[in-house]
Amino acid sequence: MQTFSYVARDRSGKTRKGKSESVSAQALVQQLRREGLFVTEYHTAAAGGAKWNLSKITILKAKVKAKELMLFSRQFAAMVDAGMDLIDCLDILEDQSDNPTLREALAAVKADVMEGTSLSQALGKHPDVFDNLYVSMMEAAQTTGSYAGPLEDLATMLEKTEEIKSKVKSALRTPLMTLAFAVLMTLGLIKFAVPTFTKMYGDPSNLPQSTQVLISISDTIQGTKGLIILVVFIVLTVVFRQYVKTSKGEFYWHGVKLKIPIFGGIILKRSISLFSRTLSLLLSSGVDYLDALTIVANVADNRVIQQVLENARETISRGEDLADAFIESGIFPGLVTQMIRSGAATGRVPEMLGHISKIYEGEVSQSVENLTETLNPILTILLGILVGGVMIGLYMPVFSIGETLMQ
């Protein structure tokens, strides 16, 4: 038996922390799930002093990417839909998998299913591969006896989510590279080129103002002063990264990101698309409303949105409407709340959530295209201003001498 420390969420969305003994991490997750707790984090509690165990270092373990899980789900759905036995499906998928972590998990799932464990319980033993959403969908599928539909839905959701992520990353890659190049080029010129020109010009007091400013900046980042500035910058970066890893810091930072001009709108639209698609999927599969909101809150990619969803769960448990909770948050656009209220009035909330997801997927795509069109010329101009400004400052004394000689 091992002692584990864990962090989990109960069905009301509240965080629970504790310690428990279990034969394995997978058994612990399954045990807590039966008690209505969704495990979000766990690790072996220290006993008799800390011991190094390379098998516990997750960085050495290949992660299962969303694309790999999407492919697995789609293949699994096709096999089940063709009437193949679950054991045979898992056996084939295990052999086909190139990811050692996924292959190991599928081998364990297959062994559990062969011993009579349900598929959802077997998958639930591997939270690092199959999250609460995946397991809950399989639980709902068991009640209908059909896995093909939910598996295909999961694959589609993973595909859409990755598609949005890919578009955002692709749109930001070129502008960020341009910005990084501009900053590095400017710093390189100030640090290495300016001192050379300073020696050539001699006394800086007779130089143009712009050149004197460049020399002052260059002197500041040279030698010990430059090292101190670099160390302070690194320390502040590390402190900030540690702060945003705390619950309070993460919540604050995620709130700030939602308010950043242009980028904040894209982040919000992406979050709306993600949670509405996920919630629609769960409700359509027959998952209980309150359980569905708990799961969606756990998989939300923004802590502020997560908090709104947790509050929404409490609102619904009191018999109020989901739209009311979203209106109170002041975050969601009127279109979202109006469509949800309309869905509640007609008994078609899952369908309305699906429509919301499609609308905001399109909004994200359009916003990303607009962002690319806006940022590229702006950053090109910024590059010209930074590098051109430094070069003009460096050669300004030469221009002044030329003007003097011509007079």
If you average pLDDT over residues 110-136, what whole number do you get? Answer: 87
Mean pLDDT of the chain: 82
If you average pLDDT over residues 229-233, what whole number do you get? Answer: 90
Return the minimum-mean-pLDDT range out of 42-46, 100-104, 131-135, 231-235: 42-46
Q: Which domains does the chain have, with CATH numbers?
A: 2-60 (no CATH), 66-157 (1.20.81.30), 161-407 (1.20.81.30)
Backbone φ and ψ of 11, nearest 5°: -70, -15
Q: Collapsing DSSP states into helix, strand and coil, what is residue 288?
A: coil
Q: How confident is the model at residue 253 (pLDDT cuts 50, 70, 90)?
A: very high
pLDDT, tens digit (0-9, with 9 covering 90-100), for 144-186: 778 888 899 889 888 888 888 887 777 778 778 888 888 888 8
Distance (Å, whole) CA 187 – CA 236: 20
User: Would you say residue 352 has pLDDT above 90?
Assistant: yes
Q: Collapsing DSSP states into helix, strand and coil, what is residue 227?
A: helix
If you average pLDDT over residues 332-341, what whole number do you get? Answer: 89
Task: Lay out the sheet containing 38-44: strands in order across.
Answer: 15-22, 2-9, 38-44
If you average pLDDT over residues 304-322, what whole number do you get? Answer: 84
Determine the pLDDT at residue 399: 67
Return the minimum-mean-pLDDT range out of 18-27, 159-168, 338-347: 18-27
pLDDT, tens digit (0-9, with 9 covering 90-100), for 147-157: 888 899 889 88
Six token digits for residue 124? 């639930």
Distance (Å, whole) CA 128 – CA 63: 8
Would you say 13 and 310 are in contact if contact means Cβ atoms under 8 Å apart? yes
User: Would you say residue 58 has pLDDT above 80?
Assistant: no
If you average pLDDT over residues 367-385, what whole number do you get? Answer: 83
Determine the pLDDT at residue 51: 39
If you average pLDDT over residues 363-372, what whole number do you get? Answer: 84
* Percent over 90 (pLDDT), the chain: 14
Residue 226 half-sphere exposure toward CB, CA atoms < 13 A: 13
H-type alpha helices, 244-348: 247-259, 263-284, 289-299, 303-317, 322-329, 334-346
281, with CB counted inside 10 A (0-12, 13-18, 19+), is buried
Residue with tokens 């038996």: 1
Determine the pLDDT at residue 187: 85
Determine the pLDDT at residue 71: 92
H-type alpha helices, 189-246: 194-201, 209-220, 223-243
Determine the pLDDT at residue 401: 59
Return the minimum-mean-pLDDT range out of 116-130, 134-148, 332-346: 134-148
pLDDT, tens digit (0-9, with 9 covering 90-100), for 188-200: 888 888 888 877 7
Distance (Å, whole) CA 340 – CA 350: 9
